[in-house]
């Protein structure tokens, strides 16, 4: 089960009985966006488009006096991290079409069971999978793949490594947050303040598929929505919204994303060079980042974090990959 008490819920198709229809407060003035290097060509036909993330330093997490800090998840106190060399991260979340090519090439078995929102709670339902997570329409090839667990995601990355001759893997939690921030220290890379739950008008819908007015109208959930309309009341095709300065799309919103790290309830003792925090044995919970289209604004931030059991397949949970430089 998630470490966070609030649910990132969405409704399922009519046949299921329910209709479908983000660190410290930013210093003034606005920070200049960091400039990323051009993305290289992909190494193989199956490989995703990559964005190059430059080296740098940042504060992982959130200041305890920040307006939107969630101390219960261990995002504070923040930790100074140095990313000493560049790395490449997928510009988008891994899509249904990309994951299908992996399954067809390898015969990887994904059980037809997924946790979905039904009758006001999360339930494990047979017959639901990445092929049919229960959307109003069959999932499009350019939508994020969901209903995949941590091991499915790791297997996909290993397959890309074999196909390309380069090392693909899941991002560390530090790499994920650094890439999501896009060179800023703001809660969301596009703004210091205007996309919080208190904002009367939010810019979030220019940059992310979040729980907005269209989602609230289609699927009323018991938490605030962003006061804007992103035109997608549920999952959206990847790359529909403006990227950050590193060329990364959809890090905030759309689908939640697995990271490589074992779950820890604080940053105390974590490697400060950007590596994933893992250990042998007993790592049954893994980190999850980014929020989904159904996440309240406070959970659609670069620093917001949660955890899930590594074997969980859930209908708002996907991933993206990184490639060593």
Instruction: Determine the pLDDT at residue 42.
Output: 67
Q: How many CB atoms lie within 10 A of CB 162?
A: 12
Across the range 194-223, mean pLDDT stands at 91
Q: What is the pLDDT of residues 229-268, one digit of tens each?
A: 999 999 999 999 999 999 999 999 999 999 999 999 999 9
Across the range 290-308, mean pLDDT stands at 94
Longest C-alpha distance within the chain, in Å?
53
Residue 117's pLDDT band (cuts 50, 70, 90): confident
Rounded mean pLDDT of the chain? 87
- Give me the architecture of the 48-325 domain, per CATH: Alpha-Beta Complex (3.90)
Domain range summary for the chain, segments of one domain joined by +: 48-325
pTM, full prediction? 0.88
Residue 122's pLDDT band (cuts 50, 70, 90): confident
What Å distances lie between residue 301 and 73, 96, 108, 155, 185, CA to CA? 13, 24, 33, 28, 11
Q: Count how many Cα atoms sit within 13 Å of the Cα of residue 277 in the half-sphere of its side chain.
A: 19
CA–CA gap between residue 305 and residue 287 (Å, rounded): 7
């Amino acid at each position: 089960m998630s470490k966070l008490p609030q649910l990132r819920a969405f409704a399922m198709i009519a046949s299921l009985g329910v209709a479908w229809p983000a660190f410290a407060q930013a210093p003034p003035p606005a920070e200049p966006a960091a400039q990323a290097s051009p993305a290289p060509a992909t190494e193989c036909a199956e490989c995703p488009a990559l964005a190059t993330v430059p080296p740098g330093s940042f504060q992982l997490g959130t200041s305890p006096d920040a307006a939107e800090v969630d101390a219960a998840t261990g995002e504070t106190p923040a930790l100074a991290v140095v990313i000493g060399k560049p790395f490449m991260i997928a510009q988008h979340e891994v899509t249904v079409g990309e994951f299908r090519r992996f399954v067809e090439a390898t015969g990887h078995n994904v059980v037809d069971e997924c946790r979905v929102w039904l009758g006001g709670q999360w339930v494990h339902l047979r017959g639901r999978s990445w092929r049919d997570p229960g959307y109003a329409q069959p999932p499009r090839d350019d939508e994020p793949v969901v209903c995949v667990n941590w091991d499915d995601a790791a297997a996909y990355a290993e397959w890309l490594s074999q196909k390309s001759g380069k090392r693909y893997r899941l991002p560390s939690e530090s790499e994920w947050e650094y890439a999501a921030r896009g060179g800023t220290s703001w809660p969301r890379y596009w703004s210091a303040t205007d996309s919080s739950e208190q904002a009367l008008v939010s810019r979030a819908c220019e940059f992310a598929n979040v729980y907005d007015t269209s989602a609230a109208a289609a699927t009323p959930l018991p938490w605030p929505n962003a006061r804007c309309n992103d035109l997608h009341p549920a999952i959206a095709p990847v790359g529909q919204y403006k990227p950050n300065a590193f060329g990364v799309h959809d890090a905030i919103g759309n689908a939640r994303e697995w990271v490589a790290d074992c779950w820890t309830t604080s940053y105390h003792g974590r490697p400060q060079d950007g590596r994933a925090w893992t250990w042998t044995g007993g790592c049954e919970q893994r980190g999850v980042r980014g929020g989904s289209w159904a996440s309240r604004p406070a959970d659609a931030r670069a620093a917001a974090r949660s955890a899930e059991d590594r074997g969980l397949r859930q209908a708002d949970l996907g991933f993206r990959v990184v490639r060593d430089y």
